[in-house]
Structure 1
Amino acid sequence: MAAPPARPRGLRALGKLTAPLITFALALAGTTVAAGTGHAADQHPASAGWVRTHGSWVRVQPGHPHAAADALTTMTARSTATVSQHPAHPMGLVNNDQPDLTYHGGQDSVGVTSGSPKVYIVYWGSQWGTAGKDPAGYTTLSNDPENAAPYQQSFFRGLGTKGDAWSGVMTQYCESMATGSTKCAANSPHVGIPHGDALAGVWVDNSTAAPQAATEPQIAAEAAAAAKHFGNTTPASNRNVQYVVTTAQGMDPDHWHELNTWCAWHTFERSSYGTVAYTLMPYLTDYKYCGTNWINPGPRGRLDGWSILGGHEYAETITDQNAIGGWIDAAGQEDGDKCAWINQGTPGGLFNLQLTTGAFAVQATWSNDQHTCSGSHPVVANHPLVVSTLCDRTEPVNRPVSVPVIATDRLSKALRYSATGLPRGLSIDARTGLIHGRSSQRGTRAVTVTVRDKAGNRAATHFRLGILPSAEYGCQGIEQIVDPGFEVAADAKGNYPGWWAQSATGIISQSTAHAAHSGKGYAWLGHSATQDDTLSQSVETTPGYTKASFSFWLHVDSTNTSAQSQDTLTLELDDQYSGKRIAVLHTWSNLDATSGYVPVSVDLTPYVAPEFGSTVIVKFTSHETGNAATAFLLDDTSFRLA
């Protein structure tokens, strides 16, 4: 997500959720919090991701770049400086002490954009006015007072031209790696580079007005409509594609004007057309801190933000296409976040990128190879034949299975697929790569898929496939919590640079006063007897899943034995946009003291089912009645989806 500099860090928007009735069951080994709810039958239930767009029902779920931590997080860790020509624009300096990006294993069989990136721009709504063409062939719009649309198109059309070493920075990243990797192995599929053809299409969707304040589901529906409009209705056709949903001047998508804490964001959705990556791009000059005249003077410089932020979200999408399965750091920063709003003229700072279509203001992005923010890197070319990551997954016993394998080849379209390790009853189509059939052979097996072309090139991918009598099928959800074990250490000033929000310094601790469940870090609530301690994290209920659970390890260490003056720890779920409480999930007290850490599991499905794909806040609050007599210790949190 791209945020304006030097503004208070904000939360993303979320439609209101209603809390169903809740019941609790206490397990012997720990605590399991269960909830029950009922929903009326509906042919196209919103909870399952159905939306009606352009006269058709499409199953989509909107998502958010929850791993793409607000760039302001990075800013707070940097010293600030003032640019002489823009005294009102506080900016930062590069911090080379930041951790490198690590690979997170891929989500829904996608890690990075491993083919040549394709960008489709959507100008959403009749508010844009009438479409035309300029002498260069770019689409113009009558209600575009800044003439931003041609600038935006020319930026994407120029990527990869004129020795574009800026795009080369992203090509160092890859997929099909072990989770936690910081370097790519030989033959790993790398991020692709465009060759002057990143702009794949433009759609002026002005038949009706776009919503004045579009919600997240509406934005996702427009991205899905764009996929349909451009004929990208299969997982393969959307594999290396992103859609930029652009709104007209004066529009307020996703509470943009109220929040003023982000300038643009990217995410993905599960849909009937496979996974669809998209960016929301508001009319940036509506808010001067989103790049207007950031480094260039005059009318063209007013459009600096369209390439600074367009490039930011583009770079983050191709390196983390299905967030948070790609490349992020331990504190939740993507490659663009780590380098946002750095002084022009300083190492890693903003600069004008020369392309065949013109000069465009851009920011640097993080380079693991150089361990700094960089605007230049040699292009790491893919092998001619690339096969995408396949996620570990489970499938039902003796039920139809359909798993697409997606490969791209620069030299040949005639590919041959083979597989080893498939359970009995499943096979792979040698021409299309579709794994299909049904199997009663229970258990989990290691499968290798190999692809060959006529030129003799070969590529392979590996995954684990389980045939199990389970209620959870398909790709196994990856961890959604950033810094789940509280292992991101405080900086020299004692500030915690990670994604957790703590009410006081030191709640996230590596103190030897208590022991962690694992590693060195843990969270210690109950420090203060005079004010409540809070700890929270906003988490996306990743699009397209139908179940959500939150778990952690809890140790209640107390010298308070009173039943009348109880120290308490409350776990609640909040609405991310309004901050209002959705539900109190459970409360513990000093009377729940334990001899060590015990596991706790919470079923969140009933609370997020009305708008699965939205972002919620998981929040802990401790309250002390005496002299901080009770320590509520948390460790090894996990937010999982199925």
Structure 2
Amino acid sequence: MTAVPTGAPRRTRLLASALLSLGLALTGLSGTANAAPQNDPQTLAQADSVSAHPASAGWVQTHGDWVQIQPGHPHAAASARPASGPQAGLSGAPQPQADPAPGHNAVLVNNDQPNMAYKGGQDSVGVTSGPPRVYVIYWGSQWGTAGKDADGNTTLSNDPDNAAPYQQSFFKGLGSNGDAWSGVLTQYCESVATGSASCPADAPHVGYPQSGGALAGVWVDNSTAAPQQATEPQIAAETAAAAKHFGNTTAAQNRNVQYVVTTAKGMDPDSWHELNTWCAWHTFERSSYGTLAYTIMPYLTDNKYCGTNWINPGPRGRLDGYSILGGHEYAETVTDQNAMGGWIDPAGQENGDKCAWITQGTPGGLFNLQLATGAFAVQTTWSNDQHTCSGSHPVVANKPLVVSTMCDRTAPPGKPVELPVIASDSASAKLRYSAAGLPRGLAVDPRTGVIRGRTKDTGYHDVTVTVRDGAGNQASTRFWYGFFATGEYGCLGIEQIVDPGFEVPVDAKGNYPGWWSPSGPGIITQSTAHQPRTGAGYAWLGHSAAQDDSLSQGVETTPGYTRASLSFWLHVASGNTAPAAQDTLALELDDQYSGKRIAVLRTWSNLDATGGYVPVSIDLTPYVASEFGSTVIVKFTSHETGSAQTAFLLDDASFHLS
């Protein structure tokens, strides 16, 4: 993300509601069957269709079709927020000009921050491993009538700043004119070990835009009005409608695609104006068309802090935000397509977040990128290779044949299996698939790469699928495929906690820069007064009796999963010998969007002193069964009496979905 306007609170821009909210009527998307006579055949048919597409399973009706959407949620590292205020590293709001006005501090590159590491891929997707394809959607009749300009860009009658053709020209130009900005992104890859900070040459890297640019299509969806204040599920539904409109209805067709849902002037998508903490964000959703990566892009000139005339003067400079923020979200999507499964640093930042709003003219600062379609204001992005914010890097080209990551997964024995392996090839259209390690009863189709069949075998199987093309190229993907009679099935979930071991150190001013939200300094610490369980860092609650200590982090309960579990290690070190519980630690679960408490999960006191760290594991499923798709806050709060003789020490937290 980038930053916040002056005076706006720092908060993780995570959304609640999703799967539960899908049961509600979406503006412009639901019918009015209840108004028809009870025995009307059309009413009965609609009722049958509704029962066959339950909202609880993520089904919504959009543009006359049923589609199963299970939207994921943007997280702090997936948002772009307007730059100003202390959280942006500024003493005040920067002026929309090349250099800060007198009295304003510059935003400078920080080369002391850590490199990003690979998170392991989510739902078999880590990065955009083929040439990126961007589809732009102009959502709603509020855009007015569509036309064309001399360059073939779509224009709209209710677009006073002429933002639409600028936005299209930017995506059309990517990859042209020796575009080394896009080259920075190609250093990142997938199909490497979780935690890797570099990529071997033969790994599937982020693709470079094909000749003709990244823009793959434009849809002016102006048949009806878009919701004035669209919710995240409505944005996800529009994305799914766009996938259908463009004919991208399979996982393979959406593998290297991102959708940019763009709203008209005066619209307020996802409470954009009320929250006032973000300019754009990207996320992904599970759908019956595969996983869909998408960005919500409001009418940016409605907020002067979202790039308006940020480095360029005049009418064209008013649109600087569409390339600064459009480039920010594009870069983060291709390197972290199914957030948070791609490349992220220990503090939870993506490549765009680490380099946002750096002052033009300074190292790593904003600059005008010269493309074949014009000059566009862009920010730099983080380069692990160069360990800095960079706008230039040699293109790391993929080998001609690329096979996408396959997640480790489980399935029930005896049930039908249909699992696609996705490959792309720039050298040959003739592909042949083979597999080793599959259990009896399963086989890969040599022409399509789809694994099908049934098996009664149980346990894990080490599977390798190899793809060969007509030009003699070969590539493989390897994954574990487990078959068990009980349990949760599908891709194995990745760690959802950012900085689970409290290893991100505080900065020179004692501030913690990671995703945990401590109530004060010293809670996340490497102090030798106590010991961590592993590593150097741990959390220490119960410093004094003067005030309560708290520590929290927002975590997504991604729809499509059915179980959630929290675990951590706790050491209660107490010198309080009172026979009653005086010093306490409470663990609660809150809904981040509403702020309401879901439940108090567990409490401890000075009476629960331990001889060291002991494991704690809590099944959160009963508490979030109706919350899957929302964001929950895991919050620890300590209360001390007397001279604060009890230390509640935490380490090695984990939040997993399955």
Q: TM-score range by the shorter chain?
A: over 0.9
Q: Larger deviation: 493-502 or 309-318?
A: 493-502
1:221 correspondence with 2:242: no
Count of residues paired in the alignment: 621
> Bigger shift: 616-625 or 595-604?
595-604
> Does the C-alpha gap of structure 1 residues 388 and 15 become closer, same or farther in structure 2, counting only changes over 3 Å?
closer
SS of residue in 1 equivalent to 2:625: helix
Corresponding position of 2:483: 467
- Offset from partner CA, 1:572-618 (integer Å, 9 cap, x none): 12222232322222222222222222222222234433342222211
Q: 360, 365, 381: which one pairs with 1:365?
A: 381
1:444-593 equivalence runs, <5 A: 444-562=460-578, 564=580, 566-593=582-609
Does structure 1 conserve the Cα–Cα contact (< 8 Å) formed by 2:591 and 2:630?
A: no
Q: How does 1:170-569 map to 2 (within 5 A)?
A: 170-194=185-209, 195-562=211-578, 564=580, 566-569=582-585
1:54 aligned to which of 48, 63, 88:
63
Q: 1:104 & 1:315 partners in 2: Cα distance? A: 17
Point out which structure has higher relative CO (alpha carbons under 8 A, 6+ apart).
1
- Aligned residue for 2:192, secondary structure, equals coil
Q: Is the 8 A contact 1:285 1:292 kept in 2?
A: yes
Aligned AA (2:57): A
Partner SS state of residue 486, structure 2: coil
CA contact (8 A) 1:105 1:179 kept: yes
Output one character per residue of 1:282-333: Cα deviation in whole Å (capped at 9) or x when no partner.
1111111010000000000000000000000000000000111111100101
Letter matched to residue 403 of structure 2: V
Structure 2 unpaired stretches of 5+: 21-49
- 1:201-257 residue CA offsets vs partner (Å, 9 max, x unmatched): 111111111111111111111111111111111000000000001111111111111
SS at match of 2:534: coil
Give the residue type in structure 1 aligned to 2:491. C
- Contact preservation (8 Å) 1:542, 1:613: yes
Q: 1:218 to 1:606 in 2, by over 3 A?
A: farther
Q: Match of 1:146, as an amino acid?
A: D
Contact 2:140 2:263 survives alignment (8 Å) = yes
Q: 1:96 aligns with which of 111, 114, 132?
A: 111
Q: Report deviation, 1:565.
A: 5.2
Secondary structure in structure 1 of the residue aligned to 2:618: strand
The aligned counterpart of 1:135 is: 150
Asked whether 1:148 is paired with 2:163, we answer yes
SS at 2:243 equivalent: helix
Q: Is the 8 A contact 1:536 1:618 kept in 2?
A: yes
Deviation digits for residues 13-63 of structure 1 (CA, Å, limit 9, x no counterpart): 5346999xxxxxxxxxxxxxxxxxxxxx96544443222222222211222
- Relative distance call for 1:268 and 1:100 in structure 2 (3 A) is same
Query: Deviation of residue 85 (structure 1)?
Result: 5.0
Structure 1 residues 69, 591: CA separation in 2 closer, same or farther (over 3 Å shift)?
Answer: farther
Whether the aligned pair in 2 keeps the contact of 1:127 and 1:206 (CA below 8 Å) is: yes
Tell me which moved more, 85-94 or 255-264. 85-94
Cα distance change, pair 89–546 in 1 and its aligned pair in 2 (3 A): farther
Q: Does 1:12 align with 2:21?
A: no
**Residue aligning to 2:29:** none
Letter in 1 for 2:196: S
Deviations 1:518-560 (A, max 9, x none): 2121111111211111111111112422222211111222222
**Partners of 1:312 and 1:336 within 8 A in 2:** yes
Post-superposition Cα deviations, 1:337-395, rounded to whole Å, max 9, x if no partner, equal 00000000011000000111111000000001111000001111101100000111111
Counterparts of 2:329 and 2:426, CA distance in 1:
26
**Distance in 2 separating the partners of 1:15 and 1:399:** 34
Paired residue for 1:109? 124
2:368·2:378 contact (CA, 8 Å) conserved in 1? yes
TM-score (norm 1): 0.93
Whether the aligned pair in 2 keeps the contact of 1:51 and 1:57 (CA below 8 Å) is: yes
The answer for the alignment partner of 1:23 in structure 2 is: none
Q: Confirm or deny: 8 A CA contact 1:415 1:454 kept in the other structure.
A: yes
1:84, distance to aligned residue in structure 2 (A):
6.3
Identity of matched residues, %: 76
Q: Does 1:122 align with 2:137?
A: yes
**51 and 562 in structure 1: CA distance in 2 versus 1, 3 angstrom threshold:** farther
**Structure 1: tracts of 5 or more residues without a match:** 20-40
| Aligned-partner Cα distance in 1 for 2:559–2:166 | 32
- CA shift, 1:423, in A, is 1.1
Structure 2: distance between partners of 1:17 and 1:587: 30
Pick closer, same or farther for the CA change 1:309–1:104 going to 2, 3 Å: same
CA contact (8 A) 1:69 1:499 kept: no
Task: For 1:174 and 1:13, locate their aligned partners in 2 and report how far apart those are by CA, in whole Å.
Answer: 26
> Structure 1 CA distance, aligned partners of 2:518 and 2:398?
43
The RMSD of aligned alpha carbons is 2.2
**Separation in 2, partners of 1:312, 1:500:** 24
Cα deviation for residue 11 of structure 1 reads 3.1
Q: What code does the residue aligned with 1:492 have?
A: A
The question of whether the paired residues in 1 share the 8 Å contact of 2:82 and 2:277 is answered with no
Q: What secondary structure is seen at the aligned counterpart in 1 of 2:198?
A: coil
Distance 2:136 2:285 in 1: 17
Whichever residue aligns with residue 50 of structure 1, its letter is W
Is the 8 Å Cα contact of residues 81 and 279 (structure 2) preserved in structure 1? no
Q: 1:306 to 1:17 in 2, by over 3 A?
A: closer
**Which residue number corresponds to residue 35 of structure 1?**
none
Question: Higher mean Cα deviation, 521-530 or 82-91?
Answer: 82-91
- TM-superposed deviation, 1:262: 0.9
Over residues 386-431 of structure 1, what are the superposed CA-to-partner deviations in whole Å (9 max), with x where a residue is unaligned?
0000111111111111221000001212100011111111110000
CA distance in 2, matches of 1:307, 1:635: 41
CA shift in 2, pair 1:231/1:18, >3 Å = closer
Do the aligned partners of 2:562 and 2:625 also contact (CA within 8 Å) in 1? yes
Residue 86 of structure 1: how far off its partner (Å):
5.3
User: Judging changes above 3 Å, is the alpha-carbon distance between structure 1 residues 415 and 80 closer, same or farther for their aligned structure 2 residues?
Assistant: farther
Q: Is the 8 A contact 1:4 1:262 kept in 2?
A: yes
Structure 2 SS opposite 1:638: strand
Aligned partner letter, 1:64: H
Mapped to 1, the partners of 2:627 and 2:141 lie a distance apart of 27
Q: 1:18 to 1:416 in 2, by over 3 A?
A: closer
Distance 2:650 2:171 in 1: 46
Counterpart in 2 of 1:604?
620
SS for the counterpart of 1:197 is coil
Measure, in 1, the Cα distance between the counterparts of 2:62 and 2:630: 19
Between the aligned partners of 2:147 and 2:244, the Cα distance in structure 1 is 23
Instruction: Read off the aligned partner of 1:108 and give its amino acid letter.
Output: D
Give per-residue Cα distances to partners, 1:487-529, cap 9 Å, x unaligned.
1111222211111110011101111222212212111111121
CA contact 2:114–2:346 (8 Å) conserved in 1:
yes
Q: Taking structure 1 as reference, are residues 503 and 462 closer, same or farther at Cα in structure 2, changes over 3 Å only?
A: same
The verdict on how the C-alpha distance between 1:72 and 1:506 changes in structure 2, with shifts beyond 3 A counting, is farther
Instruction: Quote the residue 1:28 is aligned against.
Output: none
